[in-house]
Structure 1
Amino acid sequence: MDHSNRQWSHLLWISLAELFALSVWFSGTAVSHQLYVSYHSTAVNPVWLTISVQIGFILGALVSSFFALSDRYSAKRLFVICSLLAGVLNLLLMFMPNAWLGILMRGLTGITLAGVYPTAVKILSSHFQKRKGLAIGVLIGALTMGSNLPHFILFFTSTLDWKVMIEVSSALAWIAGIVMWLFVVDNHQKSSGQAVSTKQLARVFGNQRVMLSNFGYFGHMWELYAAWTWLPVFLIANAKSETTGSIVAFVTIGLFGAVGCVIGGLVADWIGKANLTILAMAVSATCALVIGFTNHTSWWVTVTVAGIWGVFVIADSAQFSASVTDHAEPEYIGTALAFQMSVGFLITTISIYLLPVIVSWVTWRYAFMVLAIGPVFGIVSMSRLKSITSLSSRGESYEVRP
């Protein structure tokens, strides 16, 4: 098999593994009501079933970044171990006697996912020097569909016990590990670093282009996971039935989002990563500003705006990671990606928690508007990166400051 065919073969297998493994991310969120009934709990806010995964992911990513795990050890093996553990921890969710232990299982699941998502990006980037924007776009498309897969599973298992959805998502995580182990080769060379990667982190902070890519990502993440968490709730509230709302949520966020990632990757390779991120964030911010006005008006207008938002809210996500791999030195790419994602996911916990509070103050009509703050900040950061890159490409000097 020639190099080109191996590239696309690895893209297929890594994306499939990512799709299956990420199905455990929102598995608890999708059945949060049923879980809380089984826990006999009314004292704990169900939103913690989602936020705990984010917090776990942050802790896992920080540990991975601090110890440079994916740079010093086999990234492929790290992915396999973490996806298998994610399936086990997800399954244990059904057997917890109370909500606090259920939240703990969700947090531990999030920790394992920190060894899945950034690790897959690193492995894939080792196979693509050209068309990296498209390749990582396809991978993030798989992440998008995988994260929203519980809504799809619920559509077909709505007449069955809710535990079936948990069982299916755990099985998919195990299959992900098997796929990665059997079909994927990791091309990255392991770092010779000995201990804690403080020097690697310092190099991340000192690379202005990497940090501007990070700032763009942070603004993007303020919007993304809050939209993914609460847009399904908004759609279900506007739909004729919960089943209809769930499948529309999967189509608009999962399917449309995956298509947006692929198209975003193609466009990024054509017009440049920074330009693509600026365009996508401008459209997604507009959707965040207007979708509340469709509340309980026209269902099809709501679905249309949700579909557009589903495409553009994620279309640029891969390009922030790709931008880091473009501007970081090879020996600290894994650390740089883990740092980017850990801070980005920390930001998501704030917006996820804040949005329902804002709904209680101003209703759905205006609540989503707060999410537009993130894309505006991201546009400013990526415009700055674009300006620096343009100066460099013209051969003009530019001082790179920490």
Structure 2
Amino acid sequence: MSGRPMGKVGSMAVLVLAQVLVLSLWFISSATMPGMLAEAGIAPARQAALSSAVQIGFVVGALASAVLGLADRFDPRRLFCLCAGLAALANGALPFLAVGGDLAIGLRGLTGALLAGVYPVGMKMAAGWGLRDRGFLVGLLVGALTLGSSLPHLLAGLGGAEWRGTVLAASVAALVGGVLVLRAGLGPYHARAVGFQPGAIALAWTDLRIRRAFGGYLGHMWELYTLWAWMPLAAAASFAGQMERGAAGALASWVTFAAIAMGAVSAVAAGWMAGRIGKANVAYGALLASMVAGLATAASFGGPWGLTAGLFVLWGIAVIPDSAQFSALVADAAPPEVAGSLMTLQTALGFLLTFATVQVAPMLAAVWGWQVVLAGLAIGPAFGIVAIWPLREGRGTGAG
């Protein structure tokens, strides 16, 4: 690692940019699916597998990282760089393989596993730079995740049916992000574990505050990635009754980009608010807003396209701000030397849930329609609201 590590502001700026670039790998198959379908027929189950393979790969990687304590035992910058570089190579092989084939699905799973060394590791680094402003700092990382997740849709919108160039562009971005993070410094609250501590993850159950934060996060994850992964198809299905199919698909891509990208702004704004009204209060408000926005979007499905598009964007704004606060609540409650492992475990369990929801959603939509599926996503935030209710600011030891 050459050069002198940066201070707080510079390190956070570098870390955020690196996350944006690397996380562009996450939804690349979803964003380029129309181009792939135009070139080759891909069965619905394989379409779902290309997206859900990333989720289950992330779960496997994150569980292994949490148990082994990788984020707490090693220099997180080098771990981030290594995983980002390998993920970029795995993703970069996709244009040269059979479209939707077994090897392509396997590489998407490998990419997900490697991203477990990027996103949770970045949160560990961010949490090391503050205490009172930890919700804001982690919010910056979630905003970066959100913006990075929107980039493939922007690239796909610009590149049209030429999906291979979009995939390769995302890989180059990830390589740049992996190298860039080496310039970041580690904050004064960063702590390193002295050795392998597998028992540390038991705190996820035995510590009430951590357990409730985990529960709220699971409710949040019930809807988040299903919405992000399938918004292009669901929105296109809603718009198709009022415009030509190609125009509906193009509009759906732009709506999806806008919804996810604007969520990045709301994630950062929520982090700023968390330092003033409490992390759990912000998470509670976001869960409630997301539940209402989701039900309203489902109710408008098939109606005026402008109304439905606007509600999808509002849902995208509401669905993400609580994510950082659940991680920050875990970091607050956990011993600093094992906080990385517990945040990694939290994300692993959340993405394990998304593997089921992302995979099942298009199958349920084929039977009941996207309107019913969208309405069913409200179950998640409702559960999350119940889980974190006692953690709200001013309610005993659970103050956020």
TM-score (normalised: structure 1): 0.91
Relative distance call for 1:296 and 1:202 in structure 2 (3 A) is closer
Please report how far the alpha carbon of residue 324 of structure 1 lies from its aligned counterpart in structure 2 after TM superposition: 0.6
Relative distance call for 1:304 and 1:36 in structure 2 (3 A) is closer
Q: Match for residue 158 of structure 2? A: 156
Q: Match for residue 356 of structure 1? A: 362
Q: Match for residue 400 of structure 1? A: none
Relative distance call for 1:174 and 1:301 in structure 2 (3 A) is same
Q: Is the CA contact 1:56–1:111 (under 8 Å) kept in the aligned structure 2? A: yes
Q: Match for residue 398 of structure 1? A: none
Q: Match for residue 270 of structure 1? A: 276
Q: Match for residue 302 of structure 2? A: 296
Q: Match for residue 336 of structure 2? A: 330
Match of 2:352 among 343, 346, 349: 346
Q: Match for residue 381 of structure 1? A: 387
Please report how far the alpha carbon of residue 269 of structure 1 lies from its aligned counterpart in structure 2 after TM superposition: 1.5
Please report how far the alpha carbon of residue 41 of structure 1 lies from its aligned counterpart in structure 2 after TM superposition: 4.6
The one-letter amino acid paired with 1:391 is: G
Q: CA RMSD in A?
A: 2.0
Q: Match for residue 192 of structure 2? A: 190
Match of 2:256 among 222, 228, 249: 249
Q: Is the CA contact 1:158–1:243 (under 8 Å) kept in the aligned structure 2? A: no
Structure 2 Cα separation of the partners of residues 316 and 51 of structure 1: 23
Please report how far the alpha carbon of residue 36 of structure 1 lies from its aligned counterpart in structure 2 after TM superposition: 5.6
Residue 119, structure 1, aligned to residue 145, structure 2: no
Q: For structure 2, which runs of at least 5 residues remain unmatched after alignment?
A: 1-5
Structure 1 Cα separation of the partners of residues 44 and 145 of structure 2: 32
Q: Tell me whether 78-87 or 363-372 shows the greater mean CA deviation.
A: 363-372
TM-score (normalised: structure 2): 0.91
Per-residue displacement from partner, 1:172-225 (whole Å, max 9, x unpaired)? Answer: 1001011101344465232111x4x32112233321111110110001000100
Structure 2 Cα separation of the partners of residues 17 and 174 of structure 1: 9
Q: Is the CA contact 2:81–2:179 (under 8 Å) kept in the aligned structure 1? A: yes
Q: For structure 1, which runs of at least 5 residues remain unmatched after alignment?
A: 395-402
Relative distance call for 1:393 and 1:94 in structure 2 (3 A) is closer
Matches within 5 A, 1:1-400: 6-35=7-36, 41-42=42-43, 44-97=45-98, 99-158=101-160, 161-185=162-186, 188-193=190-195, 195=196, 197-239=197-239, 240=243, 241=247, 242-254=249-261, 256-386=262-392, 390-392=395-397
SS of 1:123's equivalent in the other structure is helix
Please report how far the alpha carbon of residue 393 of structure 1 lies from its aligned counterpart in structure 2 after TM superposition: 8.0
Relative distance call for 1:294 and 1:43 in structure 2 (3 A) is closer
Q: Is the CA contact 2:80–2:178 (under 8 Å) kept in the aligned structure 1? A: yes
Q: Match for residue 3 of structure 2? A: none
Per-residue displacement from partner, 1:65-113 (whole Å, max 9, x unpaired)? Answer: 0100111111111000001111100011122236111100000000000
Structure 1 Cα separation of the partners of residues 315 and 132 of structure 2: 29
Relative distance call for 1:36 and 1:63 in structure 2 (3 A) is farther
Q: Is the CA contact 2:255–2:312 (under 8 Å) kept in the aligned structure 1? A: no
SS of 1:189's equivalent in the other structure is coil
Relative distance call for 1:386 and 1:93 in structure 2 (3 A) is same
Structure 1 Cα separation of the partners of residues 279 and 191 of structure 2: 26
Structure 2 Cα separation of the partners of residues 249 and 265 of structure 1: 23
Q: Is the CA contact 2:136–2:274 (under 8 Å) kept in the aligned structure 1? A: yes
Q: Is the CA contact 1:204–1:211 (under 8 Å) kept in the aligned structure 2? A: yes
The one-letter amino acid paired with 1:333 is: A
Q: Is the CA contact 1:358–1:367 (under 8 Å) kept in the aligned structure 2? A: yes
Please report how far the alpha carbon of residue 53 of structure 1 lies from its aligned counterpart in structure 2 after TM superposition: 0.2
Structure 1 Cα separation of the partners of residues 187 and 167 of structure 2: 30
SS of 1:90's equivalent in the other structure is helix
Q: Is the CA contact 2:30–2:51 (under 8 Å) kept in the aligned structure 1? A: yes
The one-letter amino acid paired with 2:200 is: Q
SS of 1:84's equivalent in the other structure is helix
Structure 1 Cα separation of the partners of residues 290 and 86 of structure 2: 34
The one-letter amino acid paired with 2:220 is: H
